[in-house]
Chain A
């Protein structure tokens, strides 16, 4: 039975996989049709006909993960690391009968590389589905509070 705690545990575990750079295990959390979305507009509705920073399916996420380990990935020499500081997820929906599981989590995200360190604040919205006994990510949406600011490289995942 999937409870509210199952959802929050899932979100904490996801952040830990990212922080410990277990990229393959992170990808395994996605549903085959799952998407990772970083909007570029306030309360954006459409990921396709409105501009986004990222809107990627599993194929593209695999490309990113494989690239991070590439011998000729010069922007990862030295490697980036990240840190997620999460507020307790707010459960938006937990309806096992309908198969709807949604949560919204406020976060501070840190990405560092070499001597540089950048901090970002925003909200992660998880739209999860049940596959067998496990939850999988149908959509992970990350809205930065300053989505419209000019950033330098963001190479890992919020």
Chain B
């Protein structure tokens, strides 16, 4: 059934001021259109430059469902291209990361490409003489993704040739990435760990919404964080120190008032974060030696400024979340309308004590792993929603908490931390980036 394709009006009608139609989560056609429009029109995270330390290093990724790869060229520059041979479409790289040496070589017919993607050689090249090959796209080598920006080592790409610039798209929201990088005394992050991968049988947007949903932790995670707090109370005896594990679990059980006053900040284009005044990451125990390193690197005032910014979850629309205070990025990779691969990455703060890295890795496996009890709580809710939304009794999802009747769109604002406004912000951006090129494409087709 073709209900939404090329029909920007029908898509826009799925997003009301404070409600969204369930088709955004369950309709396969909507998912196809997200792959065709929303993801190519948005700036998508590809990887981190530290994964491409040496010339010839490469990583593979997906933008929406499209396979891409990034590589470090011999001159030190980073390039992003589609991961398919221009000949027959074979994926050039099949591993998450590696080093290809001086060139990429397709394993099927040995076409080879420089590490900037350009065509290097084809066996029996004379077979293409006089065939017009020079005028084909294949002659250019691996198709390049032209819009690539590397911001403080974070590699982002936009597949569409036209659209919103990187600076306009992210704007002030980049301050969360800034804060995460600044937390290294050397101003540098490094990926040294494979990500934790966790398959979710639900729509990708449920995960994104949950990042700024502050009214669920004390309910859905009573079973995990609540039990952790209870067991520790019973077992602590005369312990003088709270174990790192309990420090990480405990704050999830903070009451509504805590989340209300900690605040939410929204930005244009669907970005936003929880934990403005303080957050569940505010009261971790100091790691010995770290503050001294930071003061030595940045000076007293700046060091405290950096460490005093303890934002909770920052959503970079459409599909990543960054936690500066614990150096984690979660990538919600859409697989199908009801299937999402979550890859959770930890960044090591270069030059900082090992204990910080230990804590980040611990947080990641406590919260983001298929073996995580907090993860079990959340996935159960997403799966039940994916099932429940098939009901025709009510076709709308309610996002009305703290809606005041006339919200301005694409603004920066700080609001009550239990508001669902960031979810509304995301859906406004969703409708915008879904439909922005639809009319143009129809014209082009006609």
In contact, B231 and A63 (Cβ under 8 angstroms): yes
- Say yes or no for B379: interface residue by CB 8 A criterion: yes
In contact, B354 and A153 (Cβ under 8 angstroms): no
In contact, B379 and A153 (Cβ under 8 angstroms): yes
Taking a contact as CB atoms closer than 8 A, the residue among A48, A54, A70, A74 that contacts B369 in the complex is A54
Chain A interface size, as a band, is 20 to 34
- Say yes or no for A67: interface residue by CB 8 A criterion: yes
In contact, B228 and A51 (Cβ under 8 angstroms): no
In contact, A73 and B379 (Cβ under 8 angstroms): no
* A49/B370 contact (C-beta < 8 A), A59-B243, A73-B223 known: no
In contact, B370 and A59 (Cβ under 8 angstroms): no
Chain B residues near A52 (CB-CB < 8 A): 361, 365
- Say yes or no for B232: interface residue by CB 8 A criterion: yes
Main secondary structure of the interface of B (DSSP, over half): helix
- Say yes or no for A19: interface residue by CB 8 A criterion: no
* A50/B193 contact (C-beta < 8 A), A59-B232, A150-B198 known: yes
A-B contact count (CB 8 A): 104
In contact, B227 and A63 (Cβ under 8 angstroms): yes
Chain B residues near A53 (CB-CB < 8 A): 196, 365, 369-371
Chain A residues near B384 (CB-CB < 8 A): 74
- Say yes or no for A3: interface residue by CB 8 A criterion: no
Taking a contact as CB atoms closer than 8 A, the residue among B197, B228, B342, B375 that contacts A63 in the complex is B228
- Say yes or no for B224: interface residue by CB 8 A criterion: yes
Report Cα–Cα, A49/B193, bound state, in Å. 9
Chain A residues near B369 (CB-CB < 8 A): 53-54
In contact, A62 and B194 (Cβ under 8 angstroms): no
Per-residue interface assignment for chain B, residues 338 to 369, with 1 indicating a CB less than 8 Å from any chain A CB and 0 otherwise = 00011100100000001001100100110001
Taking a contact as CB atoms closer than 8 A, the residue among A40, A67, A154 that contacts B223 in the complex is A67
Report the minimal beta-carbon distance from B384 to chain A, rounded to whole angstroms: 8
In contact, B197 and A148 (Cβ under 8 angstroms): yes
* A66/B227 contact (C-beta < 8 A), A40-B194, A59-B232 known: yes
Chain A residues near B357 (CB-CB < 8 A): 49
B interface with A by C-beta (< 8 Å): 193-201, 220, 222-224, 226-228, 230-232, 235, 243, 245-246, 249, 341-343, 346, 354, 357-358, 361, 364-365, 369-371, 373, 375-377, 379-381, 384
A48-B358, A50-B193, A155-B376 known; 20 new pairs, CB 8 Å cut-off, are A52-B361, A52-B365, A53-B369, A54-B365, A57-B245, A59-B231, A59-B235, A60-B228, A60-B245, A63-B231, A67-B223, A70-B222, A70-B223, A74-B220, A149-B197, A151-B197, A151-B198, A152-B201, A153-B375, A153-B380
